Amino acid sequence: MPETDEDDAPPAGLRAAGIARWGIIALMAIAAMGAWSFYAHAGARFAHGPRQYQCPMHPSVLQDHPGGCPICGMDLVRVAHAPASARPAPGAAMRPAGEPGGSVPGLVPVEIAPERTQLVGMKTAKATRQRLSPQLRATGFVSADDSSIAIATTRYAGWVDEVRVIQGQKVRKGEVLAMVSGPELLTAQQVYLSALEWAAKQKSPNPGIPAPGVQEENNALQRLGIAQQDIDAVARRRRPLPAVPLRAPISGHIARRDVLKGLYVQPGIELFQIVDLSKVWVIADISEQDAGRVHLGQGARLSLGAYPGESFGGVVDFIYPALDLDTHTVQARIQLPNPELKLRPGMYGDLVIDAPAAETITVPAEAVVDTGELQYVFVARADGRFEPRVVRVGERAAGRVQVLQGVDEDELVVTTANFLLDSESRMRAAVEAFGQKP
């Protein structure tokens, strides 16, 4: 049976679905064209209209009279005939965007009515010229003064007969630490006594001056490390000392004791380490970016948790020449007097180093918006305009920031609600860019 045209025709349901699909596509195209036309005319009205009022939250709402936004109810904000970015601030017209004193990329000046600034609690402050005394904070570690560390050792071989001090004990210079005996000591003393006996038999023309032989043997005992008072004791006794005292070379505390009774010692072996803690060092790790702020002679104060409310003052007396490759810090050394022995090696606390004061323009620290790449402030104008301006900042102290470039003396900067201004300025910049190039 031959096929007919009716057999080739699609089912009625499929034909209806195709017509509906094309109808939906046509409606979407008409809606897109309408939206594009609306925003293009809105941008044109914004760019060329004599005076417009706009919603900060819904830029598409534009009117030629003040009122409220029909979407969110916010008060409409007046926008000028020309884009705000086309009206540069005085002194900033010749500075490129992103440079100190120039405009902030992505931001434009905004105008806010006085009642709105009062509503959000916006405050301003003057940029003033004053003496700023910046401070550098770091962690300081207490350590012993290397120049006040000494070791007690012998220059002869022998045995330790007696140990008279313990670790941590405070000793005075010349105090007996241990008693040591040995053949070398005994021989040296006997030679000295023989020289004394020989000198006594000679008739010296100068009775007050020791004979040459006696002086030489006296010096020989001193070179062995025997104190002069012990040599005089040998001369008085007219017989050798059975054990020679090993005396402390300096006053201080016994930091280490490596000797026991009966130990055989050899020349040069460290027996005691003595540390004088009447003055100590504080070592501070200064970050690489702050290394240029530390100089010799700067005052410093150390605060410790062990002594609340008390600080210890000193000066920076040395800056280490090398940078620590692991921490990228430079070490600075501060010498502190320690008459009461409150500072103990191993303690750590907060160290404040005073930088020299300088006469400079400063603003409150909260006025500076820091994005990591740029620092800028909002400068308040008399006509209710707020201008974002890039600044170059320096030292910080007492809640204020040094402004090296970007703000002149007596200019007003916004100290509160900066981020509200920032968001509104960014939104206005986006709207202006859309209005110029729809």
- Taking alpha carbons only, the member of 386, 364, 390 closest to residue 377 is 390
Helical residues (DSSP H) of 98-139, grouped into ranges = 114-119
Q: How far apart are CA 403 and CA 377, in angstroms?
A: 10
Give the C-alpha distances (Å, rounded to integers) separating 359 from 53, 126, 248, 365.
45, 16, 54, 17
pLDDT for residue 435 is more than 60: no
pLDDT tens column, 232-276: 999 999 999 999 999 999 999 999 999 999 999 999 999 999 999
- Taking alpha carbons only, the member of 341, 328, 354 closest to residue 276 is 341
Bridge pairing between strands 311-319 and 149-152: unpaired
* Structural contact between residues 99 and 91, judged by C-beta atoms closer than 8 angstroms: no
63-72, 338-347, 396-405, 415-424, range with the lowest pLDDT: 63-72
| Most confident of the ranges 29-33, 118-122, 286-290, 389-393 | 389-393
pLDDT band of residue 371 (cuts 50, 70, 90) is confident
Q: How far apart are CA 289 and CA 327, in angstroms?
A: 12
pLDDT tens column, 300-320: 999 999 999 899 999 999 999
Bridge pairing between strands 385-397 and 400-405: antiparallel
pLDDT band of residue 113 (cuts 50, 70, 90) is confident
**pLDDT for the residue numbered 250:** 94
Q: How far apart are CA 255 and CA 168, in angstroms?
A: 6
Q: Mean per-residue pLDDT for 327-338?
A: 92
Q: Mean per-residue pLDDT for 160-184?
A: 95
Sequence-distant (6+) residues with CB within 8 A of 206 are none
Look up the pTM and report it. Answer: 0.56
Q: How far apart are CA 425 and CA 126, in angstroms?
A: 22
Q: Decide which of 1 and 8 is more confident.
A: 8
Which tokens in the block code for residue 366? 């909260």
Q: Mean per-residue pLDDT for 153-175?
A: 95
Q: Mean per-residue pLDDT for 395-400?
A: 79
Cα radius of gyration rounded to whole Å, the chain? 44
**pLDDT for the residue numbered 252:** 94
**pLDDT for the residue numbered 115:** 80
Query: Hey, what amino acid is at 347?
Result: M
CATH number of 136-146+276-354: 2.40.30.170
Which tokens in the block code for residue 34? 């309408």
**From the candidate CATH numbers 3.40.50.920, 2.40.420.20, 3.40.640.10, 3.90.650.10, the one assigned to the domain spanning 85-132+358-436:** 2.40.420.20
Residue with tokens 């001193």: 222
Measure CA of the first residue to CA of the last residue in the chain; give whole Å: 64
pLDDT for residue 86 is more than 50: no
- Name the DSSP class of 89: P
Q: Decide which of 130 and 333 is more confident.
A: 333
**pLDDT for the residue numbered 3:** 47
> In sequence order, what are the beta bridge partners of 313?
301
* Structural contact between residues 298 and 181, judged by C-beta atoms closer than 8 angstroms: no
pLDDT tens column, 12-29: 665 666 677 777 777 676
Residue with tokens 């550098």: 136
What's the whole-number average pLDDT of the chain? 82
pLDDT for residue 55 is more than 80: no
- Taking alpha carbons only, the member of 181, 186, 187 closest to residue 265 is 181
pLDDT band of residue 413 (cuts 50, 70, 90) is very high
Q: What secondary structure does DSSP assign to 2-52, as a single string?
A: ---HHHHSPPHHHHHHHHHHHHHHHHHHHHHHHHHHHHHHHHHHHHH-SSE
Sequence-distant (6+) residues with CB within 8 A of 5 are none
Fold of 154-269: OB fold (Dihydrolipoamide Acetyltransferase, E2P) (2.40.50)
pLDDT band of residue 179 (cuts 50, 70, 90) is very high
**pLDDT for the residue numbered 2:** 47
**pLDDT for the residue numbered 96:** 64
234-266 as b/e, with b when 16 or more CB fall inside 10 Å?
A: beeeeebbebbbbbbbebbbbbebebeeeeebe
**pLDDT for the residue numbered 314:** 92
- Taking alpha carbons only, the member of 256, 272, 191, 257 closest to residue 224 is 191
pLDDT for residue 91 is more than 80: no
**pLDDT for the residue numbered 117:** 80
**pLDDT for the residue numbered 424:** 84
Give the C-alpha distances (Å, rounded to integers) separating 310 from 301, 302, 306, 349.
10, 9, 9, 12
* Structural contact between residues 314 and 336, judged by C-beta atoms closer than 8 angstroms: yes
78-87, 146-155, 222-231, 343-352, range with the lowest pLDDT: 78-87
| Number of neighbours of residue 140 by Cβ within 10 angstroms | 29
Q: Decide which of 336 and 212 is more confident.
A: 336
Q: Mean per-residue pLDDT for 320-330?
A: 90
Domain positions in the chain are 12-77, 85-132+358-436, 136-146+276-354, 154-269
